[in-house]
Amino acid sequence: MKQIPFNKPYLTGLETKYIEQAVASGKISGNGLFTQKCQQFFEERYGIKKTLLTTSCTDALEMCAILLNIKEGDEVIMPSYTFVSTANAFVLRGAKIVFADSRADQPNIDENSLEGLITPKTKAIVVVHYAGVACEMDTIMTLAKKYNIYVVEDAAQAIDSFYKGKALGSIGHLSAFSFHETKNVISGEGGLLGINDGQFIERAEIIWEKGTNRSAFFRGEIDKYGWVDVGSSFLPSEIIAAFLWAQLENLEDIQNRRKEIWNRYFEFFKESNKISLPKVPKYATNNAHMFYVLLESLKKRNEFIAKYKEIGINPVFHYVSLHSSPYFKDKHDGRKLTNCDRYADTLVRMPLFYELDQPDILDNKSDIIK
C-alpha cells in the first residue's frame, strides 16, 4: 500500500550548492553572507525593522522574554491552544502564564477575552497566528497601548501572511518565525527574531551573541568586545542560513503550490455536512501553512483519522490545550477554556507538502467524509 505521510520536506535543488559556497567561504560559524541575506529578505519584503536569524523559533521566543526583562511574578497572557515553546520561553524567565481561550470561529486567541485577563502584573501578550491566519491585531495593539504592555507575535506558522496589508511579524513589538521542516520554508531547524520597536535592537544583538558586543566590534564600531549583558548562543551556523536562503529564493513558487493544494482540499471537504472548514477572516490572508478540518466530536475525529490511515494516508491532530497539560493543570486558575478544548478534541490536519500527489487523497474517498 502506498503511504502518504503528513509532511515531506521540499528541497529546491539549490540547498547543497549554497552550503558548499558557505563552506568554501571559510566562515561557517554564523552571521556571514547567507545569514545577512536571509535577514535582509525579511526586513525588505515584510517591513520588519530588524531581524536576527536564530537556531529555532523557540530561541527567538526566549530572546523576546529576555528583551522584555520578564522576571518572577510577571504575568504573560497567551493562548492555551499553542505549542509548548510559546509558554516555555517565558516560564524559563519566571513568568506566570495566563492562558486565554480561542475564538469560536477559528483557533486564534479570542481578542475580546484579553482585557479581563490584564492585571497590574501583566507584562506582555503573546499572540499565535494559527495556521498562518492573522489574529485581530488592531484590538490587541490598542489594548497593549492602553495598558502599557508589550505584544509578541508568535509567527512560527505565518511567513508570507498578512493582516490588513501588514506582514505578520511586523506588527507587534517583537516577533518569532520558525523554519522547522514542517513549515512552508525550512532549514531543518531554524528561526528568526523580528524587532519592530527600535529600543530593543542594540540589546538584541548582544543577547544573540552570548551577551557580548561582538557584532558591534566586527562592524568596527568599538575597538574590543566583552561580556556586557546576559545572552546565549542563539545564532545559527552559515550552513543553516545557506539552506534557508535556497528556500527563500523560491518562496513564491512554494507558496503558489501550497495554496493550490489548500484550495483543492477546501473544494473537496465542503461537500460534507459533518465537517467544518477553516475560516479566514476578511482582514487576514491565507499562506496555506496547513489545511485542517473540524469533526463533530473526539470520537468522530479518531474515526476519521483511523479510516484514512487504513488506506495509507496520515492526517494528524494537533495541540493538547496547555492549560490542561500534566505540567500546568495544577497551576491553571480553573477557568474553562471551552474553545481551546474543542479544537484539541476535534481538529485534524491533512497532509500538505509541495510534492503531495493530492488525487491519491481525494479520489474515491468521499465515503470517509459522509
pLDDT at 216: 74
Closest Cα partner for 287 from 44, 46, 9?
Answer: 46
Instruction: Please tell me the distance from the alpha carbon of residue 298 to that of residue 303, in angstroms, as a whole number.
Output: 9
pLDDT band at 31 (very low <50, low <70, confident <90, very high): very high
User: Which uninterrupted H or E stretch holds 178?
Assistant: strand 174-178
The CA-based angle 47-53-58, given to 5 degrees, is 105
SS3 category, 100? strand
pLDDT of residue 341 exceeding 90, the answer is yes
Q: Is residue 163 a contact partner of residue 114, using CB atoms and an 8 Å limit?
A: no
Tell me the CA distances in angstroms from 316 to 9, 46, 312, one per residue in order. Answer: 17, 31, 13
Confidence of residue 264 (pLDDT cuts 50, 70, 90): very high
Mean pLDDT for 225-238 is 93
Which pLDDT value is given to residue 274? 87
pLDDT, position 60? 98
**pLDDT over 80 at 223, yes or no:** no
What pLDDT does 1 receive?
72
d(CA 214, CA 26): 19
Number of residues that this document lists for the chain: 370
The pLDDT score that the predictor gives to residue 213 is 85
Task: Give the whole-angstrom CA distance, residue 20 versus residue 187.
Answer: 15
Percent of the chain's residues with pLDDT above 90: 89
Say yes or no to pLDDT of 126 above 80.
yes
What whole-number distance in Å separates Cα of residue 166 and Cα of residue 172?
11
Q: What is the reported pLDDT for 364? A: 61
Whether pLDDT at 344 is above 70: yes
Q: Angle, to 10 degrees, between the axis of helix 201-208 and the axis of helix 57-67? A: 130
Render pLDDT for 95-112 as a digit per residue (tens, 0 to 9): 999 999 999 999 999 999
Round to the nearest angstrom and report the end-to-end CA distance of the chain: 24
Please choose, from the candidates 212, 220, 211, 176, the residue with its C-alpha nearest in 3D space to the C-alpha of residue 194.
176
Mapping DSSP to helix (H, G, I), strand (E, B) and coil, where does residue 113 land?
helix
Sole residue written with cell 460534507: 272
Q: What is the mean pLDDT of the chain?
A: 95
Supply 59's cell numbers: 530561541
| Residues 6+ away with beta carbon under 8 Å from 162 | 134, 168, 284, 285
Lowest mean pLDDT among 25-34, 35-44, 107-116, 170-179: 25-34
Does residue 256 have a pLDDT over 80? yes
pTM of the model: 0.96
